[in-house]
Structure 1
Amino acid sequence: MNLFKKITLFTTIMTFCLIVLGAYVRLSDAGLGCPDWPGCFGTLTVPESQLAIEKAQHTFPDQVIENDKAWKEMVHRYVAGLLGLLILSIAYLAYKNKKSLKVNIFVPYSLLGIVFFQAMLGMLTVTLLLKPIIVSAHLIGGMATLAILTYLSYEHFNKNSKLILKKSLIFYMARFGLILIFMQIFLGGWTSTNYAGLACTDFPTCHGQWIPEMDFKNAFNIFRNLGQTSEGAPISINALHAIQWIHRVGAITVVIYFGYLSYALMKYKQLRFEAILLLIILAAQFFIGIANLILHLPMVLAVSHNLTAALLVVIITILNSKIKKQYA
């Protein structure tokens, strides 16, 4: 059981790092650095020698070989592969120690399903040429993995008793908060994968307008390819306006919702630290988002936006793990 706890904590930290690495790979346009999957140009590494490059060029004549991007993508795949093996170990150790588990046995088992799902999405990301819905779903899968691992780790390392809330409204707000943050992360992923991050570069208006011209029909059509409408025509700037505008509305909603939830939870001594931390991370995420617009998505801020989103998932998961509803 001690080994289970250590591997689970290590895997949680590793998942957090992988999410940040994945954001860096995506934002540096290295997602298609390798045109095939799971290897790269037909091998399990990146072609470096002249002979290997010539062979890769012959096999993939339409692909430009950029080794720096290929290595970014392959490092991401190596870490993801190791993560998959660790999660397999967690499931095995959970089975061996099922009588000592502090969670339902299906919680660690669910990680195996998500890992398989993530592997398929990783393959489809390459074969479908960064289709927005696939890349966005891949992001959600990574965040879901982080949330479950955080829950597993916290349940087995936390020695404090649960806080039983008499007011069920706060309980339900905390539970719904997990759904809300995942909805907003999906909107952020949809904005990023559609390259709509700079559709508007001023704030709080968009090109000086509070409500710009928007094309919602094509903006949120999940079946279309990157940069195209479902009919294959180039996607309009109005569709990109709609994507970013909805993401902004979501961001404001999240700030108000979690701002109130943090304030409500602060009166409980056992939750005060987490509530304050949630407010700090929330404020950082909001201002990083604005800075990304004004400064035109510098890499460090764009990656930081993903990092703070992952931190929000962690802290909201811990809050939900700490509280229980009082039943009659």
Structure 2
Amino acid sequence: MLDVDARLRLLKRLSLAGVVFTVTVILVGVWTRLVDAGLGCPDWPGCYGRLVVPDVDTANLHSPDAPLETFKAWVEMVHRYIASGLGMLVLAILLVGMPLRRHAGYPWGVCLALLAVILLQGAFGAFTVTLQLWPQVVTLHLLGGISVMLLFLWLHLRLRQYERRRAPLARRRLSPLWGVAMALLVLQLGLGGWTSSNYAGIACQGFPTCNGEWWPDTDWSEGFHLTQTVGPNYLHGKLHAEARTAIQVGHRLGALLLGLSLLALAWRHWRERRLRPVLATLLGGYAIQVGVGVANVLWWLPLGLALLHTAGAVALVIVMALAVWQSRLPGCLTTAKEEQGSKKEWVHA
């Protein structure tokens, strides 16, 4: 039997591994979509009725209307295997942490939320295939993966806090700017997923203009029509050019609003010395992400850069979460002037 300290050490390792593992699952999922392997297996959870990719004859007997492409089928199945491992990791965290669930301050609620979201992610994974890459489901699947990663990270931070204090800790209230920045980040993630799932990444040629115009022809109602019927197959998208252009322009406007909110956030809290490093990292990560996005447009969405753009979005979310955590810690109000004053008092003493 593990004692409390041993359980906490194991749980910290498992939750941190969960963060890394989830990032891997997200990137493998994006790679699966970028190589057009999202429908490499026409059924779920198996592949042509098997747990491993079958031979061509078996596949043709199972789904004669969906010819087997072995490489794409294996890419899809590898993604499913890895995602299943993530679910097993969540179950392990629940089992190890169950004896601590009644301890004051132990983040059992975060563990249960993690289980709920991972189950929902499994459902979205099934719907991604059965609804033939319906953009709404694909976008929600991406947001769900990021939510799983955030819950693993939050659990890890809460476990570290609990290990030190073994009691709930009072938290600072966040300023409204934090709420605005977080909301715009979520919006931009959704716009990025919507852009990707509708294959609108290169709907605009050139930057900062779009197809040689500052305001090109767009069809916003069709581009953001969220209640369209489920089609037979959304591979490579179904929208016309003006609708995809509207999605790309919307994604660019979202990036601009997010950048302005991050600048306002940094300006508002720059005097708080403990927040300066994470705010600087947040601004630097945003700048790099914008640069990678521009490069994707100018170089016609090469696979490596497209993956890097997703990785940058994930990194930005992690830094934002760490910034929020740091800003809510008590005593995070020390300004440079106050710190200098305390140093003088110490010297005089």
* TM-score (normalised: structure 2): 0.84
Measured after TM superposition, the shift of residue 325 of structure 1 is 8.2
Whole-angstrom CA distance in 1 between matches of 2:27 and 2:101: 32
Distance 2:73 2:222 in 1: 32
Are the structure 2 counterparts of residues 101 and 26 from structure 1 closer, same or farther at C-alpha, using a change threshold of 3 Å?
Answer: farther
Distance (Å, rounded) in 2 between the aligned partners of 1:324 and 1:17? 29
Is 1:53 paired with 2:60? Answer: no
Out of 23, 28, 31, the position equivalent to 1:21 is 28
Match in the other structure for 1:109:
112
Q: Post-superposition shift, 1:189?
A: 0.5
Residue 197 (structure 2) aligned to one of 185, 188, 193? 193
Summarize the alignment of residues 192-211 of structure 1 with structure 2, pairs less than 5 Å apart. Answer: 192-211=196-215
Per the alignment, do residues 290 and 163 of structure 1 end up closer, same or farther by CA in structure 2, a change over 3 Å counting?
A: farther
Given residue 71 of structure 2, which amino acid in structure 1 is its aligned partner?
D
Corresponding residue SS for 2:263? helix
Of residues 88, 91, 100, the one that matches 1:88 is 91
The structural deviation recorded for 1:95 is 2.7
Secondary structure in 2 matching 1:22: helix
1:11 partnered with 2:18: yes
Contact 1:171 1:324 in 2 (8 A): no
Amino acid at match of 2:269: L
The answer (yes or no) to whether the contact 2:107–2:158 under 8 Å persists in 1 is no
1:260 matched residue in structure 2 = 264
Alignment match, 1:301: 305
1:295-328 deviations in Å (ceiling 9; x for gaps): 00000110111101001111111111122288xx
1:246 aligned residue (236, 247, 250)? 250
How big is each residue's C-alpha offset from its partner over 1:102-131, in whole Å with a ceiling of 9 and x where there is no partner? 454222101111111111111111111100
Residues 205 and 212, structure 2, Cα contact 8 Å, conserved in 1: no
Q: Distance in 2 between matches of 1:221 and 1:283?
A: 30
Cα distance change, pair 164–38 in 1 and its aligned pair in 2 (3 A): closer
- 8 Å CA contact 2:36–2:72 kept in 1: the answer is yes
Distance 1:11 1:325, change over 3 A: closer
Correspondence 1:160-179 to 2 at 5 A: 171-179=175-183
Larger RCO, structure (CA 8 Å, separation 6 or more): 1
Counterparts in 2 of 1:226 and 1:29: CA distance versus 1, 3 Å: farther
Residue aligned with 1:86, SS: helix
Aligned length: 316
Match for residue 322 of structure 2? 318
CA contact (8 A) 2:204 2:210 kept: yes
Map 1:94-243 → 2, pairs under 5 A = 94-100=97-103, 102=105, 104-157=107-160, 171-224=175-228, 235-243=239-247
Deviation at 1:23? 1.0
- What per-residue deviation string (whole Å, max 9, x for no partner) do you get for residues 206-250 of structure 1? 11111111111111112325889xxxxx53211111111111000
Q: Deviations over 1:54-107 (max 9, x none)?
A: 011121111121111111111111110010111122233333212557454222
Task: Supply the distance in 2 between the matched residues of 1:204 and 1:97 (Cα, whole angstroms).
Answer: 54
Match of 1:281 in 2: 285
Q: Runs of 4+ in structure 1 displaced over 6 angstroms?
A: 159-165
- Aligned identity (percent) is 35
Q: Is the 8 A contact 1:285 1:305 kept in 2?
A: yes
**2:175 aligned counterpart, secondary structure:** helix
The structural deviation recorded for 1:20 is 1.2
SS at match of 1:323: helix
- Cα gap change, 1:163 to 1:270, in 2 (>3 Å): farther
Contact 2:107 2:159 in 1 (8 A): no
Once residues 303 and 226 of structure 1 are traced to their aligned partners in structure 2, the CA distance between those partners, rounded to angstroms, is 27
Secondary structure of the 1:202 match is: coil
Contact 1:194 1:226 survives alignment (8 Å): no
- Larger mean CA deviation between 128-137 and 20-29 belongs to 20-29
Q: Which runs of 5+ in 2 are unaligned?
A: 1-7, 233-237, 331-349
1 CA distance for matches of 2:133 and 2:204?
22
Shift of 1:155: 2.6
Give the equivalent residue in structure 1 for 2:333: none
> Is this contact kept in 2: 1:11–1:86, CA < 8 A?
yes
Whether the aligned pair in 2 keeps the contact of 1:163 and 1:323 (CA below 8 Å) is no
Task: Kindly state the Cα deviation for residue 35 of structure 1 after the two structures are TM-superposed.
Answer: 0.7
Whichever residue aligns with residue 226 of structure 2, its letter is I
CA distance in 2, matches of 1:163, 1:214: 49
Q: Distance in 1 between matches of 2:118 and 2:112?
A: 10
Opposite residue 15 of structure 1, the aligned amino acid is T
